[in-house]
């Protein structure tokens, strides 16, 4: 299993806005080959820190998604959020290989 996280810290007053964006996400990634799970998680001590947690069957399936035209389309849309406070936030992306369960 391969896990990818993407963490952002948003202005406190924008936290719920971002949560709603993800609650209403396109779900296009859900159809990607090898995709297993999506979660948006919130730091319990720092409520304006949100992390997208995605699980993939393998690194190869994740990389195939990242190289796809759908991935590029979705991320282009993110750059055009009408809310410039959210559009300009750069996430901290981390990738993990599951080595034991």
Show pLDDT as tens, one digit a residue, over the chain (101 residues).
Answer: 999 999 999 999 999 999 998 998 889 899 999 999 999 999 999 999 999 999 999 999 999 999 999 888 877 766 666 677 777 788 999 999 999 99
Sheet holding 92-97, edge to edge: 35-42, 49-56, 2-9, 92-97
pLDDT at 73: 84
Its pTM stands at: 0.87
The whole domain housing 53 covers 2-97
Query: Considering its fold, how many domains does the chain have in total?
Result: 1
pLDDT at 8: 95
Domain with residue 11: its CATH number is 3.30.70.100
């Amino acid at each position: 299993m391969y896990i990818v996280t993407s963490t952002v810290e948003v202005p406190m007053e924008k936290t719920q806005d971002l949560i709603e964006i993800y609650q209403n996400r396109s779900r296009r990634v859900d159809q990607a080959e090898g995709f297993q799970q999506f979660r948006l998680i919130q730091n319990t001590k720092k409520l304006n820190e949100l992390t997208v947690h995605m699980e993939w069957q393998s690194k190869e399936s994740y990389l195939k998604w990242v190289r796809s035209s759908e991935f590029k389309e979705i991320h282009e849309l993110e750059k055009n959020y009408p809310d410039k406070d959210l559009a300009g936030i750069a996430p901290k992306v981390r990738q993990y290989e599951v080595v034991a369960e």
